[in-house]
Amino acid sequence: MKKHFRSKFFYIISALTLAAVIFPTVLISMGHTDIFRSAVNTLFTPLKKLSLHAVDAIDGYASYFTEFDKLEEENDRLKEELTALREEVHRSKQLEEKYEWLSEYLELKMQNPQYKMKNAMVCGRESGNYGSVFMLDVGSSSGVAAGMPVVTGDGVLGYISETGVNWAKAVSLTESSSSIGAYDERSGALGILKGDYKLSAEGKCLLTYIEEGSDIKEGDRILTGGYGSIYPRGLIIGYVTEIKTDPYSRSITAVVSSSAESRRISQVMVITDYES
């Protein structure tokens, strides 16, 4: 049965092929070339259209992938440029911070040529102290010792409480254990500056034991007194933000916002020596 089917299929294909060869030949020999051309055009026109569409589609896909490659290359180039710009911005920011730092250092040095200072980087803050204890990257090997004042370009930060060979702890003026003499720059009113447990979290402290009737106002600048203190006289502490009067002790207490206390402090200066 299979052989019969195969032989039958073979005969059909052979006959069609023979007809396809003989039919055009007969038409041409009889002078009917127009009929032949019409038949050929009728037969092959759809095939031509299909092939043209196929070529267009292939060209479209080729163009798409070519354009995709170009976009990918452009994207990679833009990424490299963006990375370079970010690095440039970072370098510019570092240079700006360094410039500001040098400006503050030079300004403080020009105002106080008698100070001997050592610059230091803030490495971190000790936990559990509301950020009022700072870790510095200098220590005894750099000539830094306990009891030395620590300042910034904005004013007094605190003092060195403990040192190692290459590290030191700086306690802020806002720490509750801190207590120094201070005065109002405008009026000269004297008081004792003390850290306060609750206010230290806000970077504030208290100026206490101010005599009743003293001329002290909000906005006044408070400076270090320098009498028997580890701090030189005249360093900026901060500004008065609130005034309280105690009717029993007949004294005034002022809330002072520290100028130097900031969570963004990155560099400080340790005053290693000074002349009173």
8 vs 167: which has the higher pLDDT:
167
- Mean pLDDT of all residues in 144-169: 92
**CA-based R_g, the chain, Å:** 45
| Residue 35: pLDDT over 80 | no
pLDDT for residue 203: 87
The reply to whether 179-260 shares the fold of 116-172 is yes
Q: How confident is the model at residue 133 (pLDDT cuts 50, 70, 90)?
A: confident
Q: Is 208 helix (H, G, I), strand (E, B) or coil?
A: strand
Structure tokens at 32: 């009917």
Name the architecture of domain 116-172. Beta Barrel (2.40)
- pLDDT of 4 higher than 50: no
Note the pLDDT tens digit of each residue in 70-122: 777 888 888 888 888 888 777 777 666 666 666 776 777 787 888 888 989 88
Say whether 225 sits in a helix, a strand or coil: coil
Is 179-260 a CATH 3.40.309.10 domain? no
Q: Where are the domains of the chain?
A: 116-172, 179-260
Residue 2 — pLDDT band, cuts 50, 70, 90? very low
- pLDDT recorded at residue 227: 76
CA distance 31 to 60: 44
Average pLDDT over residues 202-218: 91
Q: At what angle do helices 2-29 and 33-111 cross, to 10 degrees?
A: 100
CA distances from residue 22 to 14, 16, 17, 26, 76 in whole angstroms, order as listed: 12, 10, 9, 6, 63
Provide the pLDDT confidence category of residue 124 given band limits of 50, 70 and 90.
confident
